[in-house]
Amino acid sequence: MNFDPRYSGRNFSSVGTRPIRPDGIDKVTGRARYGADFNMAGQLVGRILRSPHAHAVIKSIDTSKAEKLAGVKAVITAKDLPDLTDGDAAMYDILDNSMARKKALYDGHAVAAVAAIDARTARQALKLIEVEYEVLPHVTDVDEAAQHHAPLINDQVFTEGLEEKPAKPSNVTKRTQFGHGDVHKGFAQADFVIERSFKTEQTHQGYIEPHACVASVNPDGTADLWVCTQGHFVYRQHCAQLLGLEASKLRVTSSEIGGGFGGKTHVWAEPVALALSRKAGRPVKLVMTRDEVFRASGPTSATSIDVKIGANKDGTITAAEATLRYSCGPYPGSWAEIGAMTAFACYKLENVKTVGYEVLVNRPKTAAYRAPSAPMAAFAVESVVDELAKELGMDAVEFRIKNAAQEGTRSSYGPVYGPIGIGPTLEAVKSHPHMKAPLKANQGRGMACGFWFNFGGQTCTDLNIGMDGTVSLAVGTVDVGGSRASLSLVAAEELGIDYSQVKAIVADTSSLGYNDMTDGSRGTFSSSMATISAAGNAIKILRERAAQTWDIPVEDVVWEKGHAIAKGEKYGNLAPLSLKDIAAASGKTGGPIAGHSELVADGAGVSFATHICDVEVDPETGSTRVIRYTVVQDAGKAVHPTYVEGQYQGGAAQGIGWALNEEYIYGKDGRLQNPGFLDYRIPVCSDLPMIDTQILEIPNPNHPYGVRGVGETSIVPPLAAIANAVSNAVGVRMTHIPMSPPRILAALDAEREG
């Protein structure tokens, strides 16, 4: 790979404009096809039987009655998904989560599945499956699960990362630690120390489209999977491995995706659909109900976090420490680890220490949710930072500016930062008119900062030039929020043609090389790099064809503004050849013209955001309304600014929901009480104000345009920004998210009673 990813500070003609997205008309006319919008001939309906118990041994499953029901074509249990994971513990967990093998580990865990000629028959068949359970004690609370007397979820788990291997198994799977300096020394130097404990409840990504797929397995081992996913190549690898298929014979097509936010980075029902199809010998469509999405996909962690920060009188933080306990569901994960890495990433700290504990609970397997693990850590840290500023008598923004990380600062998770945007976002907030707007009674203003790493990863694109000079761009990252528009802009920019001449599509797994999951805000960052590279390769061919046409050396041909130009006075009479001209002649100059690229897009730029939020609290009911909201975030470079704004606004809205009302509520029986949009309360249109955005562009040195990711950071500050605003409005420090009306009213009453 000869691709040079370094930032070049060039001027743009297409990048930075705001054209209409290429998939737009299909989406406003109802023609776009999502996971559940696809059908195959002879297709059956798949349905999954789920455990009603939070923790139970599966003693036996009798499927004979279901199999005899007219119209039932296949019934499967874990026996039909034999363990082919060959010691790969992470894959085994995925297998066990797809279909429980020995124990049901949470309310909603799949235990059997059927494929039948219609939904009614499939539903009836589920009722005929007899499962004998031995119900075990369960634990759903992260703090309770970490106690040594808690019911054990997996007796083979011994806490990793301790100095000595523990003698007894535990629900705590791993301890991780980050930091530098000496916090004891730092706290000793502090004039003020604030220490507090926080809890956040489990939330769900809440994408409006339930998981859906159509699976078709043929007797010769070839198979097709149509599915809504954030990573069809990863789904192919996982499904092929779990089903014993050859990866190249399993073609996975990514449908339009109706939201993911990290929740569609993981296979759930897809291996089940394939197993059903294999057994039935017919295609199977499997669509989760909303109830199943909540009970049995991958929500985020519930957490319990202790934070201690000390500062001296001049406002310099002398030490910062946090202990973070994150729930993982019933399988090991690394969620507290990410929380421990991100917690203090915004600050320049001499002495910092974070410790994370991963905790197993009888809840669904935790999956990524937009900057996973960072919002909870930021909530705890930014609440204490605000409180410390008050204690010091300093303005909350000034205090943060004084302690903000900058280029050359050693980050709290280890490496030294390059050019970063935390300082600029704080300066922008400081001078933002929102900070000076008047407030009324019971209203309060809060602000908070957030950090996310952003990722790159393996990426492959194909750029094909048609004979008419139009360009099709096939990418392998999934378009979750307008990336086909931004990548078309990149192709147009590189080739020097108009945006309207490019059409980007998401290619299936048989049409393009491997691409990593579209996660970590990597879609536009990675695929733009690959597109720039592919366009470069196509331009090389275009130049060769022009040279051939002119019969001159290719070294004398340059590519400028969509044209091949013969460079040098001796070629004065050669009129430039447009891309269209060269494409039209391509049949006689060597055939089709294309540019391919495969690369690892590494070097993603970290990103920071600072949010401002005004709330109004009804002191008689504890009801909180967000009345004004502003997002300031570093994009590196906004390729399509409108969709960048959209990411900022969407992340903020999800954070607002998380802060105020969203939570998984489990009963004493370990069953989820609110698996629906009625009682899992995501914000509705009338709950929110307009969400103002300000895009900063501090170039990432490792991307030709300076692009950083933009998708995730915006969900990190809202929890803390709202908690700080509530505190400023009514004088209570909320330490439990969500800050639902009963919690706020109870806190206000406690305050009033003194």
Partner 1 sequence: MRYIRPLSIEDAVGELAKAVGPAAILAGGSDLLVRMKGGFIEPELIVDIKAIGGLADITETADGFRIGAAVPCAVLGENKALKQAWPGVVEAANLIGSKQVQGRCTITGNLCNASPAADSVPALVAAGAKAVVAGPSGKRTIAVEAVPTGPGRTSLAKGEIIEAILLDKRPDHAGDAYLRFIPRTEMDIAVVSAGVNLTLDDKGAIKTARVALGAAAPTVLLVEEAGQVLIGSKLDEATLQRLAKICSGACRPIDDKRGTIEFRRKVAGVLAQRAATTAYKRAGGK
Partner 2 sequence: MAGVAVSTTINGDAVEYLCQPDETLLDVLRDRLGLTGAKEGCGTGDCGACSVIVDGRLVCSCLVLGAEAEGRKVETIEGMAHGDQLHPLQQKFLEHAALQCGICTPGFLIAAKDLLEKNPSPTEEEIRFGLAGNLCRCTGYDKIVRAVQDAANVMKGA
Partner 3 sequence: MVEVTLWGSLSAVAGGKAKHDIEAKDIRELFRKLAEQYPGIEPWIDRGIAVAIDGTIYRDTWSKELPPGAEIFLLPRLAGG
The CA-based angle 311-315-318, given to 5 degrees, is 30
Inter-residue contact 660 to 739 (CB < 8 Å):
yes
179 belongs to the binding site for partner 3 (CB under 8 A)? yes
Query: Measured between alpha carbons, how far is 223 from 218 in angstroms, rounded to an integer?
Result: 6
Sheet with 736-737, side-by-side order of all strands? 172-180, 352-359, 317-327, 303-311, 192-200, 736-737
161 belongs to the binding site for partner 3 (CB under 8 A)? yes
233 belongs to the binding site for partner 3 (CB under 8 A)? no
Q: In 663-677, which positions are buried (b, 16+ CB within 10 angstroms) versus exposed (e)?
A: bbebeeebbbeebee
Question: How many residues belong to the site for partner 2 (CB under 8 A)?
Answer: 55
745 belongs to the binding site for partner 1 (CB under 8 A)? yes
The interface region with partner 3, picked from 136-144, 194-202, 344-352, 413-421 by CB under 8 A, is 413-421
| Cβ at position 555, least distance to partner 2 in Å | 43
The interface region with partner 1, picked from 47-55, 220-228, 438-446, 616-624 by CB under 8 A, is 616-624
- Cβ within 8 Å of residue 220, ≥6 positions away: none
With CB under 8 A as the contact rule, the residue among 125, 183, 193, 368 that binds partner 3 is 368
620 belongs to the binding site for partner 1 (CB under 8 A)? yes
Q: Which of the choices partner 3, partner 2, partner 1, none does residue 652 contact, using the CB cut-off of 5 to 8 A by kind? A: partner 2
Q: How far is CA 179 from CA 353, 447, 700, in A?
A: 4, 25, 25
Query: Measured between alpha carbons, how far is 14 from 489 in angstroms, rounded to an integer?
Result: 6
> What are 76's two structure tokens?
């499967």
351 belongs to the binding site for partner 3 (CB under 8 A)? no
For partner 3, the binding residues in 489-518 under the rule CB under 8 A are: 517
641 belongs to the binding site for partner 3 (CB under 8 A)? no
The interface region with partner 2, picked from 80-88, 256-264, 444-452, 576-584 by CB under 8 A, is 256-264
Binding mask 456-495 for partner 2 (x = CB under 8 A): ------------------------xxx-------------
277 belongs to the binding site for partner 3 (CB under 8 A)? no
Q: Which of the choices partner 3, partner 1, partner 2, none does residue 557 contact, using the CB cut-off of 5 to 8 A by kind? A: none
For partner 1, the binding residues in 622-641 under the rule CB under 8 A are: 622-623, 625
Binding mask 242-271 for partner 3 (x = CB under 8 A): ------------------xxxx-x------
Which phi and psi angles does 308 have, rounded to 5°?
Answer: -135, 125
Tell me whether residue 285 or residue 703 sits nearer to partner 3 (CB atom).
703
Q: Closest by alpha carbon to 664, among 288, 138, 295?
A: 295
Q: Which of the choices partner 2, partner 1, partner 3, none does residue 213 contact, using the CB cut-off of 5 to 8 A by kind? A: none
With CB under 8 A as the contact rule, the residue among 68, 123, 148, 185 that binds partner 1 is 123
CA-based max dimension of the chain: 92
For partner 2, the binding residues in 634-673 under the rule CB under 8 A are: 642-643, 645-646, 649-650, 652-654
Q: Which of the choices partner 1, partner 2, partner 3, none does residue 25 contact, using the CB cut-off of 5 to 8 A by kind? A: partner 2
For partner 1, the binding residues in 662-681 under the rule CB under 8 A are: 665, 673-674, 677-679, 681
| Residue pointed to by tokens 């430039």 | 576
Secondary structure string (H, E, C) spanning 286-310: EECCHHHHHHHCCCCCCEEEEEEEE
Strands (E), 507-623: 557-560, 563-566, 577-578, 593-601, 607-617
684 belongs to the binding site for partner 2 (CB under 8 A)? yes
Three-state SS for 498? coil
| Cβ at position 383, least distance to partner 2 in Å | 23
Give the ranges where 215-318 is alpha helix by DSSP (H). 232-243, 270-280, 290-296
741 belongs to the binding site for partner 1 (CB under 8 A)? yes
521 belongs to the binding site for partner 3 (CB under 8 A)? yes
- Characterize the bridge pairing of strands 192-200 and 303-311: antiparallel
Q: Which of the choices partner 1, partner 2, partner 3, none does residue 522 contact, using the CB cut-off of 5 to 8 A by kind? A: partner 3
Tell me whether residue 210 or residue 263 sits nearer to partner 3 (CB atom).
263
Rounded to 10 deg, the angle between the 335-342 and 374-392 helix axes is: 30
Whether omega before 82 lies within 30 degrees of 0, making that bond cis, reads no
Query: Measured between alpha carbons, how far is 386 from 613 in angstroms, rounded to an integer?
Result: 14
348 belongs to the binding site for partner 3 (CB under 8 A)? no
What DSSP string describes 377-429?
Answer: HHHHHHHHHHHHHHHHT--HHHHHHHHB--TTPBPTTSSBP-S-SHHHHHHHH
Q: Which of the choices partner 1, partner 3, partner 2, none does residue 334 contact, using the CB cut-off of 5 to 8 A by kind? A: partner 3
395 belongs to the binding site for partner 2 (CB under 8 A)? no
375 belongs to the binding site for partner 2 (CB under 8 A)? no
Residues that bind partner 2 (CB under 8 A): 18, 20-21, 23-25, 27-34, 36-37, 120, 205-210, 256-261, 287, 289-290, 480-482, 642-643, 645-646, 649-650, 652-654, 676-678, 682-686, 688, 690-691
